[in-house]
């Protein structure tokens, strides 16, 4: 029998991987120093980063928040050793102006409330993770805070009541589980109305809050839609679909163009409820940018979809009109369209009309955004496999049903990145209104830099505005990524 | 048994225009056309009435009147006695100048950043991501005004150079002042002179014969270089061995060029401090530099994303197939990856060039006299001819856009995959 000197009878315990392969060292070796070229790049980047941070950080953290002019800041720097730093006093002194422009001080709660309500109105549109009740709680909280802020006995009582109601509903929402709630609804407890109801009302509330005037004007505008729907529903049994639609549109137009103004004026003399009117020329700052951006974004998507469908359509004349419009708008810079808004749009209107500059700008920016949107949506339509169109036809759906149920949901999903980057582009392009003399944040910088106290200020002011725009636009692009993930239906 | 009968022919009722799909398309189109024409007619009649009230009948004769304003940054000769037409031409050339400079710089920045963003190096890809996100999410107009303000507020005055508080950069050849940047200009001591074209009309322009000579020599050099390459190709086809040609090709281009430069007496004219300002050299005004820098950095961020997407669009299978065929990495890149990536990159790249050209109209915010600043700015304000000026301005931009789109369509057709 051969003599086996050594046979292992049990497995060795696993050894830890070498220190150079795991942890920070391993990560750095894999990602930063894998090869000579990469190591050089890493070192160069680190040196660059060091220089930038060493320049920026001491600059940012300067004790100049309370200073009232650039000269006072310079005195601080001189006492501090002579190196320059940020003079944040300009932001402290002017940030209200950068937010609201020359909006009257006593009325500034209105844009703030409009902005808060905008969030409440947007949440059910943008996210589906928040429950119906929480949405109403949010609305009550915003309104309650506004009441308390406005003060006065009535304001505080109403505000506190609203906050209390919010707390009550919120508490109930937290304490009842999903199953209990489902059982309650099954047993006949009424559900709260859909929060989209408020989102639909918001377009009438916001302009009233911002521009003021009688409350009967937005009510009249909203009544136009009600009249249109009523006309359509009541006429549908007698005339066909298409004729009903045409009559509904005509009824709404007649109401808006001819009857709304006397309606609002008449009611206002009987029941005068209204807010102090604010002139468009007092609008400014980020409030103006957001107003123009939100309106242009909200209106350009539906118009863009219609234009894209027109461009894809078989109807030759409709197609030619849409192509002509889209290519014309996309071929000229926005600034020329803003020149049209500022100088020519009044010439195009019947003699004697003089409509608001912000409204004129809104029209042109919306048309501009719609043309770009149309191209994005067309890309989505073209990317959809032909089988989808054929399947819709095979199911016997008519054109609009096929578009609504099969084509558009998929085409819009495909074009989400393009749509959101168009949104971001529109929001950035609102700065161009400073060239035609509106006081958006960039328009205000000229006045601030011309001020004797702040003559020579650059980095703080523009840096602050850039940061604000960055936050808005970056959030929008992150949202598009979230939406893409949420709507993803392919197999992973 | 049921039978299906066609509706009887020849019974046309009016309601069929709405409810019969054979006629409905025509009805809708005619309604759309009538609506469109009514809208146009309404706008035109309003415009005519309003202009009659203002007693400004549309006319383009103002373009031939003396402009009466100066343009400081210009490529052709011009003074305030010249017509508005010439002022617009100068503006158009300025637009094209900054657009061309911007396209070149944005491409270079974009390609470098786009490639670096794909780098496996974590810190490099993060830094480039910060650059891209930072520039894409902040308005271009802000960057332009910001750059302008930085140039004006932080660069030294010319007087600081006299007192010795500031000095010229790059071995005393470039002066960076808050009135602009002065760079050396190319001069020819044995110059051939200029050629004056189109006499004294508004479109007159001069062509430097020196430049023409240099251009001719360079083009001839490139053509010869292509011939050398063809010959090398033929030899390679025949024998399988490729002769070494790079030194020959470089020499054919460079030697005649250097020779002509010497014959013409090429030297550089440096800017010098005289009196209160710099003289000599080429004066790049702040407005041009701010516009150029901001446009290039902003568009560069978009180009970087396009380049990144283009490279990612080529599947790794292609690279692997190329190595399986035995191609070296350099040839894989030039023969397999790049041609496919370029097919994806070039169309959006051209549309970025188009965007850059349209965005150059923001020049008006910093006072650079491009076509928007001349025709849409001072000319419009001085003559009060808003309708005509804006119309002409739009036509000019439309012409530029349509030209670029035509180039893009031509390219797209030439690279479309021909499927069997």
> Which has more confidence, B194 or B375?
B375
Contacts of B121 in chain A (CB under 8 A): 31-32, 38, 41-42, 45
Contacts of A330 in chain B (CB under 8 A): 401
A354 φ/ψ sector (left φ>0, alpha ψ -120 to 50, else beta)? beta
**CB atoms A333 and B19 under 8 Å:** no
Percent of chain A with pLDDT over 90: 21
pLDDT at B2 (0 to 100): 53
Residues of the domain holding B90: 64-153+285-307+340-415
Query: How many CB atoms neighbour CB A128 within 10 A?
Result: 9
pLDDT at B82 (0 to 100): 83
**How far from A370 is each of A298, A327, A431, B359, CA to CA, in Å?**
10, 12, 18, 18
**CB atoms B401 and A330 under 8 Å:** yes
Residue A133, classed as helix, strand or coil, is: helix
Residue B284, classed as helix, strand or coil, is: strand
pLDDT at B172 (0 to 100): 75
Average pLDDT over chain A reads: 85
Q: pLDDT tens digit string along B282-292?
A: 888 889 999 99
- The C-alpha of A318 sits at a distance from chain B's nearest C-alpha, in angstroms, of 6
pLDDT at A160 (0 to 100): 83
Q: Which CATH number fits domain A282-492: 3.50.50.60, 3.40.605.10, 1.10.3720.10, 3.30.300.30?
A: 1.10.3720.10
pLDDT at A314 (0 to 100): 84
Closest-CA residue in chain A for B377? A339
pLDDT at A1 (0 to 100): 57
pLDDT band at A82 (very low <50, low <70, confident <90, very high): low
DSSP assignment of A354-420: ---HHHHHHHHHHHHHHHHHHHHHHHHHHHS-HHHHHHHHHTT--HHHHIIIIIHHHHHHHTHHHHH
pLDDT at A39 (0 to 100): 87
**CB atoms B29 and A31 under 8 Å:** no
- Measured N-to-C along each axis, helices A441-450 and A89-100 cross at an angle, to the nearest 10 degrees, of 140
Q: pLDDT tens digit string along A233-264?
A: 888 777 777 777 888 888 888 888 888 888 88
Average pLDDT over chain B reads: 85
Q: pLDDT tens digit string along A145-161?
A: 887 777 777 778 888 88
Backbone angles phi, psi at A303, to 5 degrees: -65, -40
Contacts of A336 in chain B (CB under 8 A): 361, 372, 376, 390, 393-394, 397
**CB atoms A317 and B32 under 8 Å:** yes
**CB atoms B387 and A48 under 8 Å:** no
The Cα B104–Cα B109 span in angstroms is: 9
Cβ contacts of residue A227 below 8 Å, gap of 6+? A251, A252, A255
**CB atoms A466 and B146 under 8 Å:** yes
Q: State the pairing for strand pair B175-177/B272-274.
A: unpaired
Residue A350 clears pLDDT 90, i.e. is over it: no
pLDDT at B381 (0 to 100): 86
CA angle, B415 then B418 then B420, to 5°? 175
Q: pLDDT tens digit string along B291-324?
A: 999 999 999 999 999 999 998 888 889 989 999 9
> Which has more confidence, A133 or B144?
B144
Residues B68-95: what's their mean pLDDT?
85
Residues A408-412: what's their mean pLDDT?
90
Closest-CA residue in chain A for B357? A333
Query: How many CB atoms neighbour CB A272 within 10 A?
Result: 10
**CB atoms A315 and B380 under 8 Å:** no
pLDDT band at B76 (very low <50, low <70, confident <90, very high): confident
Is B321 a member of any domain? Answer: no
What is the ipTM, given to two decimal places? 0.86
Contacts of B119 in chain A (CB under 8 A): 38, 41
Facing residue for B121 by CB, picked from A32, A48, A449: A32
Least confident of A42-46, A202-206, B194-198: B194-198
- The C-alpha of B203 sits at a distance from chain A's nearest C-alpha, in angstroms, of 24
Residues B401-411: what's their mean pLDDT?
87
Residue A352, classed as helix, strand or coil, is: coil
pLDDT at B104 (0 to 100): 94
**CB atoms B390 and A344 under 8 Å:** yes
> Which has more confidence, A492 or A99?
A99
- Measured N-to-C along each axis, helices A109-126 and A132-150 cross at an angle, to the nearest 10 degrees, of 180
Q: pLDDT tens digit string along A29-39?
A: 877 787 788 88
**CB atoms A31 and B25 under 8 Å:** no
Percent of chain A with pLDDT over 70: 97
Facing residue for A351 by CB, picked from B32, B49, B364: B49
**CB atoms A331 and B380 under 8 Å:** no
The Cα A196–Cα A140 span in angstroms is: 15
The most confident of the ranges A95-99, A439-443, B394-398 is B394-398
pLDDT band at B415 (very low <50, low <70, confident <90, very high): confident
**CB atoms A333 and B121 under 8 Å:** no
Residue B181 clears pLDDT 60, i.e. is over it: yes
Residue B333 clears pLDDT 60, i.e. is over it: yes
> Which has more confidence, A186 or B224?
B224
Residue B197, classed as helix, strand or coil, is: strand
Residues A434-462: what's their mean pLDDT?
86
Facing residue for B358 by CB, picked from A34, A333, A348: A333
pLDDT at A49 (0 to 100): 92
Integer-rounded Cα Rg, in Å, for chain A is: 30
Residues B216-240: what's their mean pLDDT?
90
**CB atoms A240 and B137 under 8 Å:** no
CA angle, A132 then A136 then A139, to 5°? 140
B266 φ/ψ sector (left φ>0, alpha ψ -120 to 50, else beta)? beta
Residue B5 clears pLDDT 70, i.e. is over it: no
Q: pLDDT tens digit string along B235-278?
A: 988 988 888 888 888 888 888 888 888 888 887 878 877 777 78
**B385: closest CA among B21, B44, B56?**
B56
pLDDT at B244 (0 to 100): 84
**CB atoms B18 and A462 under 8 Å:** no
CATH label of the domain that carries residue B121? 1.10.3720.10
> Which has more confidence, B151 or A63?
B151
Residues B43-69: what's their mean pLDDT?
85
**CB atoms A49 and B123 under 8 Å:** yes
Residue B109 clears pLDDT 80, i.e. is over it: yes
- The C-alpha of B393 sits at a distance from chain A's nearest C-alpha, in angstroms, of 7
**CB atoms A348 and B46 under 8 Å:** yes
**CB atoms A315 and B32 under 8 Å:** yes
Is B15 a member of any domain? Answer: no
DSSP assignment of B151-168: HHHHSPPHHHHHHTSS--
**CB atoms A331 and B398 under 8 Å:** yes
pLDDT at B1 (0 to 100): 46
Residue B250, classed as helix, strand or coil, is: helix
Residues A275-291: what's their mean pLDDT?
87
User: How many CA atoms, within 13 angstroms, populate the side-chain half-sphere of residue A412?
Assistant: 15
Residue A2 clears pLDDT 70, i.e. is over it: no
Interface mutation vs chain B, best among A55, A311, A317, most B CBs within 10 Å: A317
Contacts of A334 in chain B (CB under 8 A): 358
Contacts of B401 in chain A (CB under 8 A): 330-332
Residue B51 CA, distance from chain mean position: 36
pLDDT band at A217 (very low <50, low <70, confident <90, very high): confident
Facing residue for A462 by CB, picked from B140, B149, B361: B149
Contacts of A444 in chain B (CB under 8 A): none
Q: Domain count of chain B?
A: 1
**How far from A425 is each of A366, A429, A490, B130, B387, CA to CA, in Å?**
12, 6, 29, 18, 28
- The C-alpha of A41 sits at a distance from chain B's nearest C-alpha, in angstroms, of 7
Residues A321-338: what's their mean pLDDT?
92
Cβ contacts of residue A159 below 8 Å, gap of 6+? A143, A144, A145, A146, A147, A148, A149, A150
pLDDT at B10 (0 to 100): 63
Contacts of A351 in chain B (CB under 8 A): 46, 49-50, 53
Q: pLDDT tens digit string along B122-161?
A: 888 899 999 999 999 999 999 999 999 888 888 888 777 7
List residues bridging with B266 in a β-sheet.
Answer: B188
Is B300 a member of any domain? Answer: yes
Contacts of A428 in chain B (CB under 8 A): 137-140
Cβ proximity of A158 and A183 under 8 Å: no
Residues B375-404: what's their mean pLDDT?
90
Is B88 a member of any domain? Answer: yes
**CB atoms A351 and B120 under 8 Å:** no
Backbone angles phi, psi at B274, to 5 degrees: -130, 125
Residue B7 clears pLDDT 80, i.e. is over it: no
Q: Establish, for the pair of chains A and B, how many residue pairs have beta carbons separated by less than 8 Å.
A: 159
């Amino acid at each position: 029998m051969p003599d086996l000197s050594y046979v292992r009878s049990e497995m060795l315990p696993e050894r830890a991987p070498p220190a150079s392969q795991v942890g920070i060292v391993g990560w750095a070796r894999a990602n930063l120093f894998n090869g000579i070229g990469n190591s050089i790049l890493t070192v160069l980047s680190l040196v660059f980063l060091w220089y930038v941070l060493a320049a920026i950080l001491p600059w940012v953290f300067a004790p100049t928040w309370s200073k009232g002019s650039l000269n006072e800041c310079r005195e601080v720097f001189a006492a501090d050793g002579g190196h320059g730093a940020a003079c944040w006093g300009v932001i402290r002194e002017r940030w209200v102006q950068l937010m609201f422009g020359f909006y009257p001080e006593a009325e500034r709660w209105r844009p703030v409330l409009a902005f808060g309500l905008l969030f409440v109105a947007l949440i059910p549109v943008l996210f589906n993770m928040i429950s119906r009740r929480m949405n109403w709680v949010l609305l009550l909280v915003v309104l309650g805070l506004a009441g308390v802020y406005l003060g006065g006995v009535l304001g505080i009582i109403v505000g506190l009541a609203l906050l209390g109601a919010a707390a009550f509903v919120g508490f109930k929402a937290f304490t009842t589980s999903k199953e209990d709630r489902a059982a309650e609804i099954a047993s006949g407890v009424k559900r709260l109305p859909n929060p989209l109801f408020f989102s639909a009302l918001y377009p009438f509330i916001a302009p009233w809050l911002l521009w003021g005037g009688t409350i009967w004007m937005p009510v009249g505008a909203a009544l136009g839609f009600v009249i249109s729907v009523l006309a359509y529903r009541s006429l549908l049994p007698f005339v066909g679909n298409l004729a009903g639609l045409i009559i509904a549109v005509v009824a709404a137009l007649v109401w808006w163009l001819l009857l709304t103004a006397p309606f609002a004026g008449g009611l206002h003399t009987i029941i005068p409820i209204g807010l102090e009117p604010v002139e468009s020329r007092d609008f400014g700052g980020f409030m103006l940018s957001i107003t123009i951006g939100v309106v242009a974004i909200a209106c350009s998507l539906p118009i863009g979809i219609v234009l894209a469908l027109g461009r894809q359509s078989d109807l030759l004349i409709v197609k030619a009109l849409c192509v002509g419009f889209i290519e014309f708008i996309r071929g000229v810079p926005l600034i020329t369209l803003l020149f049209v808004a500022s100088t020519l749009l009044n010439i195009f209107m019947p003699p004697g009309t003089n409509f608001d500059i912000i409204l004129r700008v809104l029209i042109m920016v919306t048309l501009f955004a719609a043309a770009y949107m149309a191209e994005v949506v067309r890309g989505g339509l073209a990317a959809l496999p032909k089988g989808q169109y054929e399947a819709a036809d095979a199911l016997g759906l008519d054109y609009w049903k096929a578009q609504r149920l099969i084509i558009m949901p998929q085409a819009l999903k495909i074009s989400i990145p393009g749509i959101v980057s168009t949104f971001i582009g529109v929001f950035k392009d609102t700065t161009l209104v400073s060239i035609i003399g509106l006081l958006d944040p960039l328009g205000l910088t000229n006045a601030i830099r011309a001020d004797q106290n702040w003559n020579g200020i650059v980095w703080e002011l523009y840096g602050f505005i850039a940061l604000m725009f960055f936050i808005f636009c970056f959030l929008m692009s992150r949202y598009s990524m979230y939406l893409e993930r949420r709507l993803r239906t392919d197999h992973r | 048994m049921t039978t299906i009968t066609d509706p009887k022919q020849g019974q046309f009722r009016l309601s069929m225009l709405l409810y019969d799909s054979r006629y409905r398309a025509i009805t809708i189109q005619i309604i759309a056309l009538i609506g469109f024409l009514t809208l146009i007619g309404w706008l035109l009649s309003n415009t005519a009435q309003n202009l009659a009230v203002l007693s400004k009948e549309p006319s383009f004769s103002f373009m031939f009147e003396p402009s009466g304003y100066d343009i400081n940054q210009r490529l052709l000769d011009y003074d305030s006695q010249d017509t508005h037409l010439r002022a617009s031409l100068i503006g158009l050339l300025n637009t094209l100048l900054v657009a061309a400079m911007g396209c070149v710089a944005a491409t270079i920045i974009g390609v470098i950043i786009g490639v670096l963003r794909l780098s496996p190096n974590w810190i490099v890809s993060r830094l480039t991501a910060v650059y891209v996100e930072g520039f894409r999410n902040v308005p271009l107009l802000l960057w332009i005004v910001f750059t302008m303000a930085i140039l004006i507020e932080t660069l030294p005055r010319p007087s600081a150079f006299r007192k010795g508080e500031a000095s010229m950069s790059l071995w005393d050849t470039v002066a960076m002042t808050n009135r602009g940047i002065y760079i050396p200009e190319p001069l020819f001591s044995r110059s051939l002179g200029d050629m004056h074209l189109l006499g004294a009309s508004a479109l007159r322009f001069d062509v430097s014969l020196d430049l023409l000579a240099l251009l001719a020599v360079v083009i001839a050099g490139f053509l010869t270089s292509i011939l050398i390459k063809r010959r090398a190709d033929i030899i390679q086809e025949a024998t399988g061995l490729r002769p070494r040609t790079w030194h020959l090709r470089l020499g054919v281009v460079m030697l005649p060029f250097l020779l002509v430069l010497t014959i013409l007496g090429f030297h550089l004219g440096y800017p010098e401090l005289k009196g209160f300002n710099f003289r000599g050299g080429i004066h790049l005004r702040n407005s041009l530099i701010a516009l150029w820098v901001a446009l290039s950095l902003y568009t560069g961020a978009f180009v970087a994303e396009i380049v990144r997407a283009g490279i990612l669009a080529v599947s790794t299978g292609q690279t692997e197939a190329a190595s399986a065929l035995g191609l070296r990495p350099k040839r894989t890149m030039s023969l397999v990856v790049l041609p496919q990536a370029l097919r994806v990159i070039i169309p959006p790249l051209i549309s970025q060039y188009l965007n850059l050209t349209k965005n150059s109209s923001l020049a008006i915010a910093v006072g650079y006299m491009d076509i928007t600043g001349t025709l849409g700015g001072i000319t419009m304000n001085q003559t009060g001819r808003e309708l005509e000026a804006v119309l002409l301005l739009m036509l000019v931009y439309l012409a530029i856009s349509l030209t670029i789109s035509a180039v893009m369509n031509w390219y797209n057709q030439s690279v479309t995959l021909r499927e069997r």
